[in-house]
Structure formats: C-alpha cells, structure tokens
Amino acid sequence: MQLYNTLSAEERAELIDQAGKQRLTLSFYAYAKIEDPKKFRDDLFVAWNALDALGRTYVAKEGINAQMSVPAENFEAFRETLEAYDFMRGIRLNVAVEHDDHSFLKLTVKVRDKIVADGLNDETFDVTNIGVHLKAKEFNQILDDPNTIVVDFRNHYESEIGHFKGAITPDVETFRESLPIINEQLQDHKDDKNLVMYCTGGIRCEKASAYFKHQGFKNVYQLEGGIINYAKQIQEENLESKFIGKNFVFDHRLGERITDDIVSQCHQCGKPCDNHTNCSNDGCHLLFIQCDECKAAMENCCSTECLETIHLPVEEQIKLRRGKQVGNKVFRKGKSENLKFKHSGELSDTALATASKTTDIRQKIKVKKVLLGKVEHYYVKAQVGLFIIENNEFKIGDTLIISGPTTGNQELILEKMLVNGTEHSTAKKGDKVTVEVPFRVRLSDKLYLKIQN
C-alpha cells in the first residue's frame, strides 16, 4: 500500500503535460473530532492517490484543511472520497477562479496538532460558537453600513496585492499575531460596531469569529467561503466586487486575479506589479513582488548579493549556506531591507494600474515534449551548458527545451554539440553533452526534446 510520493515534482509535471487533461485547483476545510488522525491520513492518501489527486493537506484531531489539484474528470469521484465521512457530507469545495495544471505537483497529507496555527487554547472557549456567515451579496451590503469594521485576517504579503476596500490589514506575518492586535485595537467597539472578517477560504475566520465572540464582541460576521467563494459568487450573480486586486493563494500560482486592478508595486523598482516570486538564491528564497523587467535584470534575485551568489560555483554556494538557517527562518517572509517599495499595514484602495488581459490558462496550447536529462553545469563566461542525458536520443537539428522554475521555458535549435568531449551529430542515454546556450541555465533545470506536430 503506497502511503507517500514516489515521483519528484519534475517527473509529475512531465506526466501531467503528457496526459494533457484539465485539472481543477480547489480547497476545503472542516472542523470535526477525529479520533485517529494517522489512520484518517493514510486512508485519504490511498484514496486520493488512486485518483491522481495532488495537493497539501493537514489533518488533526480537530479536523482537516486541504488545498488540492484534481483531474476534472475525477472531480465527483474525489467528492465521494470526502462524503464517505459523515462530517464532510455536503462539504463546500472552493474551486479556484483560475486553474493551473501545475498548481500542486505532489500529494502531501500531514498530521498536525492543529489544522491552522492560531496559538489559541481551544479548551478556554466554545470554538463552535462562530459568527454569522455571509454570502457575497450580504457581505457587500454590510460593508456599506457605516457601523461596520471589516478586518483582513491574512498576512501582510497576502493583503498587499489585494484586499477589500476599507479593510483593516494588520502588518503581521502569521494568523496568530493578528488576533491579539485586532482585539486590542477594537476594544471600544464591542457593542456598537459590526465586526466583519474575511480570509482566503474561510478557515481562519471560523476560529477567529468564535474567539472574538468569546472576547465579548456582540455582532460578529464572517465571509462564507472566504475570498475564493466570494469571487465565484460575484461572477455568477453579476455583483460589484468590493475586493480589489489579486487573491494570494498558497500554491504554485501564488495568486489569482479577482479584478483587473493592480494595487501593489514591484519591490525593486516601484512599477505597478502584483506578481509574487521567490528569490532564486537557494540560501534565500525570499518571497517578494518582482516585475518582468527586474526579473530579467536581477535573474529572479531579490538583491545584488543574491545575484552574485547564484553565479558562484555550486560548491561555493553550499559552503555559504552551511551552518546557517535558510528561507523563512532568515527573512521575515516578504520583508527585507533590500525591498525598497514594500508596503504593509495600512494599504491604499486606489489602483495603480490595470492588468492586461491574458489567455485563459485552459485554452493555452501545450507543447509536447519528452524528458532527455538534466543540467550538470553552466559555464557563465563561455555560455556553455553541460547536460547529463538520462532518457531517449536526439540529434543535430532537433529543437530542445530547457525548463525550470527560474529559467522558464527556453527553446533552442541544436546546431552543434560535443558528446563525451567529441563533436557528434547524435546523443543517447548515458552521454554527457556540451552545448552553447545563449541564456543562463541552472542545476534545477531539465532538458527536453520538443516533439514537432
């Protein structure tokens, strides 16, 4: 019985591309008493793995919190795996506004102490005494009430690219930080104001609303299904969107557009932009907003220091990282002194620009390709890449694709190559191939053969 992933993200992405079938990105949660989270976890993994479902799920004695990518043809079968449990019968599945077949590339189901890290002692208050759920139309109406205070219970990097107009957007890095801040800030309005809250999919507000009712707030409301469900309802019912900008999501997409308004800036040059990325320096991976021009100039790095680092030999990069904490343990997520145009806390409701229209991702034509191998080394000055061939054969005149998270998808027509140090016209599995590459490639990149239609 398989209980863990056996494929790498790259291998899974290749299988998804070859299948050429539409996938749906969705999320859901449910609070319930689960006696044996480990068995529950294993049963879900087996059922979902059989349906080619991918994603990130946390289960605990208090319930389940999931973000998933499911083949569209298996959507109803996936729902049946949930409704086999009494507490998930009729569960709301928040289907994404925008879909990306690569939103998740692994199936991860983990047992945790809590399905959301809220820092609360659930024994001290009634977690089932939640606020009033509001649908999109009702939410719009209560926002128009002058006695309403609306609070964004997401983190600073989420609210920066999109939020409800007039919302309080706490400058916090975690959900648990926002609870005492808002409680103190609104102490004088427990009786005379409507406390209205929202988050991405509703799960944070489920616990927050109960907490604030316990703190003595009389009129507590929450957006049912969060921003994801709100976006779906305003489209279906042709309602005004009081949310402006993008909704940050915790998968490969890092955001889905709700309105065409861009309300944030490139953190490096200040140009209107709302595209998040991660620094390509493996010793950093800082989450920040970067426009296409800065991405090209900085090679997806957040600073000149990181740019210099990625050009060092891999062995030197590893030495620099040795003994140091990396990623989010080093930087406050989305914050660094190098980011000159980062904004947090009190945010503007004024759009800085309008996003250009893009083709629906489901209408994009997929490039057919087969995996050849991987990058072994890149010689910067000579602009030459060394590749290890692990599968298939190719020859002079073929079109190659070099693909990776930072490199993107780059094509080149093979005019000349050295195979195991000697010039040859063909290469096969096991060969070491040297090719002139007019763009930088990285060790995380894969080499593919493009299949001509």
266 is catalytic: no
Cα distance between the two ends of the chain = 39
Four-residue CA torsion sign, 47, 79, 115, 86 = negative
User: Which residue out of 199, 205, 279, 306 is catalytically annotated?
Assistant: 199
Contact between 270 and 242 under an 8 Å Cβ cutoff? The reply is no
Other Cβ atoms less than 10 A from the Cβ of 115: the count is: 23
Positions marked active-site: 199
